[in-house]
Structure formats: C-alpha cells, structure tokens
Structure 1
Amino acid sequence: MNTKRTFLKGAAALAFATIAAPASAQQLSLSQVSNYLNQLQTAQGGFTQINGDGTLSTGQIYIKRPGRIRFEYNPPEQSLVMAGGGQVAIFDARSNTGPDRYPLNQTPLKIILERNVDLGRARMVTGHTSDGTTTTITAQDPDNPQYGNIQMVFTANPVELRQWIVTDDVGSQTTVILNDMVAGGSIGDIKFNIQREMRNWNN
C-alpha cells in the first residue's frame, strides 16, 4: 500500500494562496512555537491528506502527546495509521500480512510528538518564514537529517498548527491539512494501542 507507506515517512506537497495580512503581523518565534507544541497535550478534529499521487483522503485525527497520534480514514478507504509505544503502524484492510510497522523516531512526525519540543536546537530548523498571515517552520532531527523533515504552518492569535508537509528521505511528500481541531479534553490511551488494534483487525 504505497500511499499509506509514503505517508508514514512522508508524501505530496500543496501550495496555498494566502490573503495578505497587515504589515503589522509578526512572525512567530521558535520559542513561541515550541511552547505551543509543548502545551498541546491532546487534540482532535478532521484532516485532509494530499497523497503522493495527487488524490485526497479525509478522516479524523487524534493527538496525545508525547508520542501518540491516530489517523482514521473515511470510507471508501479502509485504513488506519497510528503511533504508540514508540512505533508507527499502518493498517490496510487489503493486506493479509498485518500492519506495516516502523520506529517513530525514524519519521519526521516524531518532532511534533516529542515530550519536550525545542526548535531552538542547533541544526533542527532549516527554514523559518512568514507571509504575514502564517509562519512556516521546517524542522529535522539534527542527529539524523537523512530521515527527512516536516514543514509546519502556524497561525497566530491564538497560535495554532494548521497543516504540515512531511518529506521523506527520497524527497516524496505528504500534506496534512487540519480542520475543526479542538485542543484539550480526554482521549483514552486505548486509541493508540497498536497490539489491541492488531487483534481487532484480525477478528
């Protein structure tokens, strides 16, 4: 299942036209964004994914930092991507060999799921720009840049993560656009239990 495998490490960029903001709009600092991510313990909402072949997928996303995320894809897709216990698992109903699994620390998503996000670390941020409406930050694992990078787009007042583009080690990309995100609230750990999900998919 190439689309979801590519999503894991990363896959398809999307350019957005933005409305010019007043000149007084300010670029978010790396410390502001780091603080926002560190305070974001849980969040859930909808997402739209632009796949490597240009097709669109939609679904629901659940985030529980540190280290946990879940993408539930809407029909007609029968798939699920989740991270928990240091692993990422990609479930595909068409597969009879079980989910593909990868170490979370080998994917750019680990950057936003770390317990302590510090975008000020040396060699972590490779891009930091603002168009007057949004702030875009491109970050990589400074110790393992070969794993790819994640380009995150934030709005201000209040600070919110709106989308990201994950680029993998061969340059393929996946764009995830977040919508109707609600931060806070309780999300059970069971949503991120890969072993339990494997049992459910086998039944």
Structure 2
Amino acid sequence: MNKNKKTLIKVSVAFGLLPFLILPSLLFINSKPKSLNLIRPHGFDVYDNQNNDKEAKTRKLLDILIETVFSDDKIRQQEFIKKQEENKNQLLLQVKDLSIKYLKSKSDNDLKNLKDFYSENCLFMLQNLNKFELHFLEYWKLESKKGKELHSNSFLESIKKKEKPKNNYVFLDSYLEKIHPGSENEDLKSLSIVYLKKDR
C-alpha cells in the first residue's frame, strides 16, 4: 500500500507541475510566432507560394535578363529600363493599335511592325504577359538564306499539312518561373539567347 501511495503522490505532483511547465511555453510561442519560422539560408533563393514571392522572383529573373542583354553598356541599360517604366500606358495603347491593324489586314508589313515593337519593348511585354492573348501564326522554321532552304522538303511539307491550334492562349498572371541562357551563346558572340519558363 505504501508503494501505491508513493506512486500516487509522484503522479499527482507531476500532473500538478505540468500546467506550470506548459503555460510559459504556450505564452512564449504566442508572443513570438514569426520568430519561430524557419530561417532562410544565406546565398540561396527561397520562395514560398505567396504572390509577393512570385513577384519578387519574376523581378529578379527580369533583372538577370536585362543584365545579360545589356552586360557591356550600363547607360543603355538604364535608358531602356527608364523608357519601359515611364511609358507603360503609351506602350499599351501602341501595341493595341498595332495588333488591331495586323488582325484586320494580316499583312506582312503590319506583322513586321508588331514583331519590331515586341523586340524593342521586351521588358514591357514580359511584365504584362497577362494583358496579351497569344495567337498561333505558323510553325517556326529557320529562315532561308540566299534562296537555299535550311530544312528538308519532307519537314516543310509536314508542317504545311499539320493542323494549326485554333484556340488562343491567355496567361492568368505575368509571373515567370525560370531563366536559362541558351547553349547557342557560345557560338553567337553578338547575340544573347535566353529561354524563359512560364507556367509549368
């Protein structure tokens, strides 16, 4: 009976002290919930699924793209960024006008003007992907030089026969996922080829 009494006293004391041990822990956790988050390691890019992190990641990827394109001319880089940032509304109206002209006429000249606009304002385009609708025109092929085709006749025939996608594509947001320099850059000294990944 003595052993049972001692065991009962020990268990009662343990349960009696338990609230005094748990209460300070709970108060500490509730007072500093943000300080208990995992610490992000230095030197690594860590993003969660929040839109603000997607936006920061996209901004960083676009900065890498601009650094790659304007690596040798910082003044031109700053002028380009300034032009793209200051004229957003004007650029949006301009691309809308060019798109309407092309959709009405379907002429090569209007298509060239639209492509030139995209080339000159690539930062604006990438920052506003969700405002554009992608419309399939034709399958990509290498341009022929001096009348010499760079593809086989069977390939050219197969893409002529292949059915074109009928649905246009619209991005829900303008967030980018990845940037990757092209392996072609080793051979092309005057150009920078960069691949961007959007929506897995």
| TM-score interval (norm. to shorter) | under 0.3
Q: Which structure is larger by alpha-carbon Rg, 1 or 2?
A: 2
Decide which structure has greater helix share.
Answer: 2
Superposition TM-score, scaled by structure 2 size? 0.24
Superposition TM-score, scaled by structure 1 size? 0.23
